[in-house]
A and B are shown apart, each in its own frame.
Chain A
Amino acid sequence: MALHFELVTPAKLVRSEDVHMVVVPGAEGEFGVLEGHAPFMSTIRDGAVQVYKTEGAAPEEIQVRGGFAEVGENGLTVLAEHVEG
């Protein structure tokens, strides 16, 4: 069971991979997305997206600025204007 996670910036497709869970810094609070999440859309505030490759693994942090996150049937897509690291 894996969640398909895509991180996209205007310049390029930064990530496209299957992961266990992603924690996104939403505008109204952080939220974690697992596989099979209900369709959901949120703007994000500047902060770190935490990617958990497998259950219990240490999260990988990606700093993002400006954008929004969308959860659909195809998984989670984070559109960010700037990505660091």
Chain B
Amino acid sequence: MASLKELKGRINSVKSTQKITKAKQMVAAAKLRKAQAAAEAARPYAERLSAVMASLAAKVGGSDSAPRLLAGTGSDERHLLVVVNTDKGLCGGLNANVVKAAKVKARALIAEGKDVTFYLVGKKGRAPIKRDYADRIEQNFDTSTVRDPGFGEAEAIADELIAMYEAGKFDVAHLVYPVFKSALAQDPTVQQLIPVPAPRAEAESSAAEAVVEYEPDEEAILEELLPRYVKTQVFGALLEIAASEQGASMTAMDNATRNAGELINKLTIQYNRSRQAAITTELIEIIAGAEAL
């Protein structure tokens, strides 16, 4: 059995670990509120934009002159998976789940005979994907230099993706990111990013907007709108990952704090028993010595 001193040391070390996990949990809870507010604030823009996209795409989408970002390159041989991960750990299985979803998608595409490459956002996805698909990683985007990845980063990512698309490096891009459901559940989602999936226009809205005047014409507007739409999608993914990270982190740290508490209790009981046993032994020794006199 471990000596009293060793036990005491272990209890202290678990106690300080618990302090850290507890602090991290509180920080995550506070940050989660902020991240959720940010996600909430971004919603009006995304909604308006997709409504406008829907009505425009319905008008222009059918024609041959539709922009390439909407119509696609005509083939779907080369796929790009844009995997969004966090930069920091301590958030439970979040990154593992995202990577798993990305790998499932990659395997399915490879099985169909398609060519798959990766574009990784965030630090934590690099190592696990590199393990399986080291030669397929096209590029990394580093978000660790800024505290809260915002629209500027989304813009940079989207611009780079669109440039790669224009250069003919891939035909189809999918975005893999976790959707924040609650602090307990974040669902990894795979969503097509490029070519932009034509949003479904509601019948009534397209009828109501039939008389809308456009300046310049519809196609020119759509041309300008599509990159913005891609940016908004990427921005949405960044917001989701931020909220998911804090949510997952909060849950994971809550568990860790509770586990540490249990461990402390167990160790304390063990410590008290050993102390009691030591006292008893000492007493027996003293009594035995007294009796011998």
Contact = CB atoms under 8 A, between A and B. Distances in A.
Interface of A: 6, 8-13, 26-28, 38-43, 66-68, 70, 72-73, 77, 79, 81
Contacts of B46: 10
B282 interface: no
B120 to A, nearest CB: 23
A73 B231 CA distance: 27
B291 interface: no
Which of A43, A67, A72: most chain B Cβ within 10 A?
A: A43
Nearest to B215: A42
A53 to B, nearest CB: 22
A59 B49 CA distance: 27
A10 B44 CA distance: 8
B215 A8 contact: no
A8 B211 CA distance: 24
A6 B163 CA distance: 32
Contact of B213 (A6, A10, A11, A38): A38
B220 A39 contact: no
Contacts, number: 74
Describe B's contact surface by its main secondary structure.
helix
Interface of B: 38, 41-42, 44-46, 48-49, 52, 150-151, 154-155, 208-209, 211-216, 220-221, 224-225, 228, 231-232, 235
Contacts of A42: 214-216, 221
Which of A28, A40, A77, A79: most chain B Cβ within 10 A?
A: A79
A82 to B, nearest CB: 8
